[in-house]
Structure 1
Amino acid sequence: MKSFRQQPQSRPKKSSLVIGRQKVISALKEGKQLERIYLVQTVHGPEIEEVKKLAALHQVPINKVPVEKLNGFNITDHEGCVALVAKIQYQDLQDVLSHVVEKGESPLLLILDGVTDIRNIGAIARTAYCCGVHAILIPDKGVGALNEDAILTSAGALEKIAVCRVNSLMKAVDTLHLNGIRVFASEMTAETSIFDCDFRDPAAIIMGSEEKGIYPALMKTADTVFRIPMAGKFESLNVSVAAGMILYESMKQRMQS
């Protein structure tokens, strides 16, 4: 089943924007959490290079866009550079893991690879929070913006659950392995059934996009690849529905242990 057709996103409020090159540089230097930076494709110069350098340092994604994109924000003094203030507070992965272990709990994490539809992300976050997931991991590129629309779709769950934005999901998996966390990947052609997986111990589950699935190199890092059995032959499940099935199975196991 293909993902939903992308719907137009609402225009961000001016109060949620950092407008202009120097203001964006200052925000980055001050450590202000930014969702992403928009740079007009044709802009260049020392200030733009500094924006790129600082954005890479703080793992803030940059989108190269036509000038019409920024003009569509109903602003004119942008100098080809606008940042969107993050609506949620991203957390460090190792800090989250340490906190969970200190509480005496078994970590359960969800990794989203290439999931771009904000309604799917919101729905996944809502189910994840209800099922006891400790954190959602997303890459700093190739993921839908966690903006007001995403938070609304999640019914506020994105403001309650820890979200870790990383510059490499593969490096994040290395961190998980170093912390004794077993990594599972959902793939419809896998031989192992979800019912044969043990989610009671520390676990992280990778979910890929409906169209491309999990990136092959990332798939190879998984300790176990499993499938969700289906009675009828069909192309695939919606990613948020599949995540719900997997997370409720993990919650059931943990409640019964």
Structure 2
Amino acid sequence: MQETTTIFGIRAVLEAIHNGETIDKIYVQKGLSGQLFQELQQKTKSGDYNISYVPVEKLNKLVKGNHQGVVAKISPIAFSDLEEVVENALSKGTAPLFLLLDQIDDVRNFGAIIRTAECCGVDGIIIPKKGGAPVTADTVKTSAGAIFNIPLIKVDHIKDAIYYMQASGIKVVAATEKTDTLLYNADLAQPVALIMGNEGKGISDSVLKLADEKAKLPMLGSIGSLNVSVACGAFLYEVVRQRL
């Protein structure tokens, strides 16, 4: 099983970009300057790269060596094309099921969601290019290898995927406590894309208002919230139950 590769040094990262490697995230030291750094900025200005500007202490924790202010994570997987995955799902003759992850931060939650999604027959998982958890060795391990069996798609913004789903006749359902509708009263037998939100903040307001429907889980205890991967599992298996 291929795991995430960490590379460091501006020249090494430039070479990876030149060779077309699937770079999941680039960490750049705040205040970095110089000719090579300018070249890196030029190569990544398309917006297709997830770049975080961080203190040097963060880079020192990521690698042992002369990182020159730049560290990159090369993804163990290749990402899929949204339109192609949706078209393939619609052509199967069964109701498609997609997951939209709005700023999921924790790589282990991400991996657990992927594992459950694969078990529930999800046709694809959509994540934002920037702001979400990277695909790391921990993601791969927690997914128990499921990450290699399910298409992962990166989009500029989750909103882009929502608009495309809706235009393709797929209902977008948001998992949120900001509703009176229980999950079990939502019609999930039709083509559906589920939105799951950030571990702490939930689904962002700008994304939530685009959903066709909102649904929540009944909470009978005093805590009032579930881990996002557990909540996602409950939602996905209700879809499975309604479709069996």
State which of 87, 92, 97 in structure 2 corresponds to 1:108: 97
> Residue in 1 aligned with 2:71?
82
Report the residue type matching 1:180 in the other structure.
Answer: G
Task: Please tell me whether the aligned partners of residues 28 and 58 of structure 1 are also in contact (alpha carbons under 8 angstroms).
Answer: no
State which of 105, 110, 134 in structure 2 corresponds to 1:121: 110
State which of 121, 142, 152 in structure 1 corresponds to 2:131: 142
State which of 185, 192, 197 in structure 2 corresponds to 1:203: 192
Query: Which secondary structure state, in structure 1, belongs to the residue aligned with residue 134 of structure 2?
Result: coil
Looking at structure 2, the residues matched to 211 and 17 of structure 1 have their Cα atoms a distance apart, in angstroms, of: 28
> Residue in 1 aligned with 2:31?
42
> Residue in 2 aligned with 1:97?
86
> Residue in 2 aligned with 1:131?
120
Moved more, 208-217 or 47-56: 47-56
Deviations along 1:86-125, one digit per CA (max 9) or x if unpaired, are 1121111111111222333322111111221112111111
TM-score normalised per structure 1: 0.86
> Residue in 2 aligned with 1:5?
none
Q: Does the C-alpha gap of structure 1 residues 172 and 55 become closer, same or farther in structure 2, counting only changes over 3 Å?
A: farther
Q: Does the C-alpha gap of structure 1 residues 70 and 210 become closer, same or farther in structure 2, counting only changes over 3 Å?
A: closer
> Residue in 1 aligned with 2:50?
61
Report the residue type matching 1:57 in the other structure.
Answer: S
Report the residue type matching 1:75 in the other structure.
Answer: G
Q: Cα RMSD (Å) of the superposition?
A: 2.0
Structure 2 residue ranges without an equivalent (≥5): none
**Structure 1 position 186, deviation (Å):** 1.0
Task: Please tell me whether the aligned partners of residues 18 and 85 of structure 1 are also in contact (alpha carbons under 8 angstroms).
Answer: yes
Deviations along 1:203-250, one digit per CA (max 9) or x if unpaired, are 111111232111001000000011112333432111111101100000
Say whether 1:28 aligns with 2:17: yes
Looking at structure 2, the residues matched to 56 and 155 of structure 1 have their Cα atoms a distance apart, in angstroms, of: 35
Task: Please tell me whether the aligned partners of residues 59 and 166 of structure 1 are also in contact (alpha carbons under 8 angstroms).
Answer: no
**Structure 1 position 56, deviation (Å):** 4.6
Looking at structure 2, the residues matched to 56 and 161 of structure 1 have their Cα atoms a distance apart, in angstroms, of: 29
Task: Please tell me whether the aligned partners of residues 210 and 236 of structure 1 are also in contact (alpha carbons under 8 angstroms).
Answer: no
Task: Please tell me whether the aligned partners of residues 219 and 225 of structure 2 are also in contact (alpha carbons under 8 angstroms).
Answer: no
Q: Does the C-alpha gap of structure 1 residues 229 and 68 become closer, same or farther in structure 2, counting only changes over 3 Å?
A: closer
Identity of aligned residues (%): 38
Q: Does the C-alpha gap of structure 1 residues 97 and 120 become closer, same or farther in structure 2, counting only changes over 3 Å?
A: same
Looking at structure 2, the residues matched to 227 and 52 of structure 1 have their Cα atoms a distance apart, in angstroms, of: 43
> Residue in 2 aligned with 1:7?
none
> Residue in 2 aligned with 1:173?
162
Moved more, 67-76 or 91-100: 67-76
Report the residue type matching 2:112 in the other structure.
Answer: A
TM-score normalised per structure 2: 0.90
Looking at structure 2, the residues matched to 58 and 189 of structure 1 have their Cα atoms a distance apart, in angstroms, of: 32
Task: Count how many residue pairs are aligned between Structure 1 and Structure 2.
Answer: 241
